[in-house]
Amino acid sequence: MNGRFPAIRPRRTRSATWIRNLARETSVTAHDFIQPLFVVEGEGIRKPIPSLPGVDHLSIDRVVETARAAYDLGIPALALFPVIASNLKDPEGKLAIDPDGLIPRCVRAVKKAVPDIGIMCDVALDPYTDHGHDGLFIDGDVANDATLAVLVKQAEVLAEAGSDMVSPSDMMDGRVGAIRDMLESRGFVNTMILSYAVKYASVFYGPFRSALGSASALGVKGKHSYQMDISNKREAIKEVLLDVAEGADMVMVKPGMPYLDVISAVREVVDVPVVAYQVSGEYAMLAAGAAAGAFDFMRVMHESMVCFKRAGADAILTYAALQLARELA
């Protein structure tokens, strides 16, 4: 770079609000957000989740109300997660493929009330299994190929219910291609796949698993045999390239903030949208810090959103989507 002080003064373009607005490289709007919601059986339920301050368990009617509010604020999509009673879980996660299950009913209700909001649904068995794993647990490990058939059926049920996007979060090899083949053969040619392509075996998922009731079921054996090693970045590139080749329309990096380097690296190698997930542990830490007086919650949340966008994320799942959208409005 040529030039030197005082001819070059970088502070000139920081000197006032108007010039900072003109020179800003990265911006955040409500259109960047996806709001995750935890769905429970019943009516009129809005029950706080202790591990996630400001986040609730919602019955389907409350999800519909939230969908209307999100749409009015400009949030383009919701991600729905089921909370299944422990006595209804089983080793095979049979409720995952029930056409009249909790999530298919929720999808139909939201689409009837707010047809233009996008609906994303996870494809994985962990909310439905009594062992807490994302697939069929056989001989001490999750069986990849046996699980694929169940995941394909789950994706079919969700597509039939009206889900705009199915999101395999299970990390089984080959699941994107198997789901894409099913969607094409069944005529769901416009149903999108958001692959949790880079999902690390992270401790940051703790509050989410608590909210779903899967943490205690999982026990001492974690998900390290199928979720990614937290130490690996080159492997992340391999995963996203495979999933895009198999038909993924978008790819996700999860967790988000501790893995900004991975988001940036993924952005450089794929030409599909990249999604970051500000996972439950990240959100809970920021909420706890704000409650302790360390910083203002909305300001630190906004800063974290800018960081995701600057790293290369096109969209962000965050539990603070509604709060952020209200603040931006």
Catalytic residue numbers read: 199, 254
CA 312, 232, 229, 146 dihedral sign is: positive
By the 8 A CB rule, do 67 and 113 touch? Answer: yes
User: Please, which residues bridge with residue 119 across strands?
Assistant: 78
User: One-letter amino acid identity for 279?
Assistant: V
Q: Please state, in angstroms and rounded to a whole number, the distance separating the CA atoms of residues 281 and 295.
A: 17
DSSP state of 160: H
Q: Please state, in angstroms and rounded to a whole number, the distance separating the CA atoms of residues 188 and 320.
A: 31
Q: Please state, in angstroms and rounded to a whole number, the distance separating the CA atoms of residues 291 and 285.
A: 10
Alpha helices, H only, 24-169: 60-72, 102-113, 144-161
Q: Cα–Cα–Cα angle for 220, 223, 225, nearest 5°?
A: 115
Q: Please state, in angstroms and rounded to a whole number, the distance separating the CA atoms of residues 19 and 67.
A: 36
Angle between helix axes 280-291 and 297-311 (nearest 10 degrees) is 150
By the 8 A CB rule, do 143 and 117 touch? Answer: no
Q: Please state, in angstroms and rounded to a whole number, the distance separating the CA atoms of residues 262 and 290.
A: 27
By the 8 A CB rule, do 319 and 280 touch? Answer: yes
